């Protein structure tokens, strides 16, 4: 049971990382934050490296919608679905 709890916490943390990455990308796109700042660049780079491997396959499948990127939304919904599958199907089987 503790292992399943750790998996659920990691999924929830990754959802927050995806949200932070999406918000930071909007702030960079609208020139609210400057990527010439070393701290901002480092945070953006870390978030990009954490989320891009999961977002890239989704972006390949989703159609182009102009400047709108829905891949973080699809990823978050998929992670929530994964959490629900773990909670409803795997946890009762372990107990």
For 7-61, what is each residue's pLDDT tens digit? 999 999 999 999 999 999 999 999 999 999 999 999 999 999 999 999 999 999 9
Nearest CA-CA partner of 12 in 89, 82, 85, 71: 82
Q: Which two tokens stand for residue 26?
A: 């909007």
Nearest CA-CA partner of 75 in 3, 18, 9: 18
What is the reported pTM?
0.91
DSSP for 38-84? HHHHHHHHHHHHHHHHHHHHHHHHSPPBTTB--HHHHHHHHHHHHHH
């Amino acid at each position: 049971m503790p292992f399943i709890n750790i998996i659920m916490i990691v999924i929830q943390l990754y959802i927050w990382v995806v949200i932070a990455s999406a918000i930071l990308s909007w702030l960079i796109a609208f020139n609210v934050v400057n990527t010439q700042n070393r701290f901002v660049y480092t945070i953006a780079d870390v978030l990009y490296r954490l989320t891009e491997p999961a977002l890239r396959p989704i972006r390949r499948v989703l159609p182009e919608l102009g400047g709108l990127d829905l891949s973080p939304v699809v990823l978050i919904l998929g992670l929530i679905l994964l959490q629900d599958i773990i909670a409803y199907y795997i946890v009762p089987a372990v107990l």
